[in-house]
Amino acid sequence: MMSNYCPDVWKSLYLQRVNQTQVKVGFCCQNVTTTCDTDQIHHVLQAKRENFLTQDLAEQCNNCWKIERKGERSRRHAAIDWFEDNAVQQDQMPHLVSLDWNSDNLCNLACISCGPRFSSRWSAEISHYPWDDNRRYEVSTRDNQVLNIVDFSNLRRVYFNGGEPLMSRDHINILTRLQSQGVLGQCEISYNTNGTQALHPEFVSLWRQARLVRVMVSVDAVGAAFEYVRWPAKWHQVQEFINKIYKLDLNVIVDITCTVGIHNVFELPTLIEWFDNTCRTNPSGDPSCLNLQQVGDIGYGGRVLDVANIGNYLAARAFTALEPLVNKFPMINVLIDAMQSGSKDPKDWKHYLEQLDRVRGTNWKKSLSKLQENLDCL
């Protein structure tokens, strides 16, 4: 087997609707996507596979190569482990085993590291700000024919992302399709959710028929800091959401995903302590995961809040705060490397938070108190 083999290239599919006739296509949520008509999906995937085989480290997979060069675990590593753990053959014979489905940008939150591309709440608010995200992304919940041409018969895993996938009917439609084809019971169902939505009986009854449900809740801090970062969510909402999931009579694991930027890098120790005390295992004792990821370029906020823009002084203080966590979370090394090699001018992110406060009536210095405390030491 080739040294850079990835089972997702032959066994996985990422889909996101663009309009009634077009979709964005890739191998997974980390792969560079291509926009095409629904009847061209097969041809696009074939071309992407040929590119993967002919390039030593295909550019379309740079998100994984970049992480692996730092010696850390990538999506490719996780895919290899999942296929091995679930006894799925890893070869170069294409058939669909894993589906990454990106729902429309319908979302009730306007998180400070996100933007209108993935949030309808952001799209409605963006006109109040001057930066270069002032283009509008329309929410399109109209169906196209993509689900009718996808072969679900061999599926073993489905991952729903958004927007907020629990606000869309996409996941219900797909799970119902799996149920009707008699394959839902062999599938692991995963969600990336903001943890503020109700658990409706309609989809909970479908969850009960799945082999495993993994609910990955986005939590970047706790308390007031959480409410500022995941505006306008309330901290009690996510706590109640997790408690309700744990009370369901089904095989479910709650994982936590934390997107790390300048705004919450000093919040990590408190967040990790909360995770250890709250979500380390499910009620059956199965281990959960706390996944750390660097803030991405999915909006203006993500760009300016990147830890690469933290500045020399705050970077030094962040190193001290994060050093005890390195052995527990190897991703910390990626964050430290980014802070060491990045821009040293912190002005943009401060101005960004001040503009958010002006429109939203919030106060970053009060809500992100640990960040402000470290600034006060200048």
- Report the distance separating Cα 332 and Cα 325, nearest Å: 7
How far is it between the farthest Cα atoms of the chain?
62
- Report the distance separating Cα 316 and Cα 151, nearest Å: 51
* β-bridge mates for residue 294, sequence order: 260
- Report the distance separating Cα 156 and Cα 99, nearest Å: 9
Q: At what angle do helices 312-322 and 369-376 cross, to 10 degrees?
A: 120
- Report residue 174's pLDDT band, with 50, 70 and 90 as the boundaries: very high
Burial of 1 by CB count in 10 Å (0-12 exposed, 13-18 middle, 19+ buried)?
A: exposed
Q: For residue 191, which of 155, 149, 158 has the smallest C-alpha distance?
A: 158
pLDDT in tens, 17-30: 888 888 999 999 99
Beta carbons of 311 and 305 less than 8 angstroms apart:
no
pLDDT in tens, 93-124: 999 999 999 988 899 999 999 999 899 999 99
pLDDT in tens, 308-356: 999 888 999 999 999 999 888 888 888 888 888 766 556 689 999 999 9
Report if pTM > 0.85: yes
